[in-house]
Amino acid sequence: MISSLKITILVENTAGGRGLLGEHGLSFLIEADNSRILFDTGQGMTLIHNGDILGVSLNNLDAIALSHGHYDHSGGLVHLLPLCKNTDLYLHPNALMPKYSPRGDIGFSLDEETLSRSFQRVIKTEKPTEIAKDIYITGSIPRNHPLEDTGGLFWHDQNHHEVDPMLDDQALYLDTYKGLFVILGCAHAGVINTLDYISQITNKKEIYGVIGGMHLLRASQERLMTTVETLKKYNIQLLGANHCTGIDAISFLWHELKSIDCRDCRVGTILEIESMGK
């Protein structure tokens, strides 16, 4: 299990320090023992800038993993291509499919040939996949809970005929000495479905930490309350909801989970689990 974990938020809707910039998007740099992994890349307007301000190098990462194919999580990838000769890329195959919303094209901007040429390996992740020691990505998440939906109107075509069920949505999870630590991109599969699936595939009944986008912006009161009950069920100790969760939903979670360490996870935030020996 991972004995030392540091997570730096490089892209998020809001910024928390001088010189840092926010954008609608998400990117986490994960440093776990000897592994350096980037989870999502934001839109691409702020990733490199914020990394420079924070003194973070994005050269030769061990891996980049994408939670799904929307532009606000994959757009920054194009700026990293010159740095990724020795880096593996993990993504669900459906992330490369066309993606539209009422606003227009919101999909992936790179083709498979470019990705294959730029990365050491491109690994498709339909099922749970190990990225590095004790670091995994879920692959497709079963949609079992009746209250959860994808959080918006999404299609595979610009004429809005073919609904996109967002099967490429996946989460990253780490097995640390304090317990499971889950990192969400947008949780289009639903927070409840995601945590239930991770519990199922790991055979663990408790989850130490959950951070990331939860797509609860338009969630009903019933769904919000059921999400709270799920977080309590897994005995969550640390919560960092951000990005697409929505400020009202974040406030609701903080209010209902007073006994939990709720973190403000904007650009510049650093979350650490100190080495087990300290």
- Give tens-digit pLDDT for 111-127: 999 999 999 999 999 99
What is the reported pLDDT for 273?
86
Q: How far apart are the first and last CA of the chain?
A: 16
Tell me the mean pLDDT in the region 258-273. 95
pTM over the 0.85 mark:
yes
Give 159: exposed, middle or buried? Use CB within 10 Å, 0-12, 13-18, 19+. Answer: exposed
Name the percent of the chain lying above pLDDT 90.
96
What is the reported pLDDT for 276?
58
Q: What is the mean pLDDT of the chain?
A: 96
Burial 95-120 (b: 16+ CB within 10 A, else e): bbbebbeeeeebbbeeeeeebeebbe
Tell me the mean pLDDT in the region 57-69. 96
What is the reported pLDDT for 274?
76
Tell me the mean pLDDT in the region 130-135. 97
Q: What span, in angstroms and rounded, lies between the C-alpha atoms of 91 and 122?
A: 8
Is residue 278 predicted with pLDDT exceeding 60? no
Could you tell me the pLDDT band of residue 68, with boundaries at 50, 70 and 90? very high
What is the reported pLDDT for 107?
97
Tell me the mean pLDDT in the region 142-160. 96
Is residue 58 predicted with pLDDT exceeding 60? yes
Tokens for 265, please give them.
């996870």
Tell me the mean pLDDT in the region 80-96. 96
Is residue 220 predicted with pLDDT exceeding 90? yes
Is residue 86 predicted with pLDDT exceeding 80? yes
What is the reported pLDDT for 250?
97
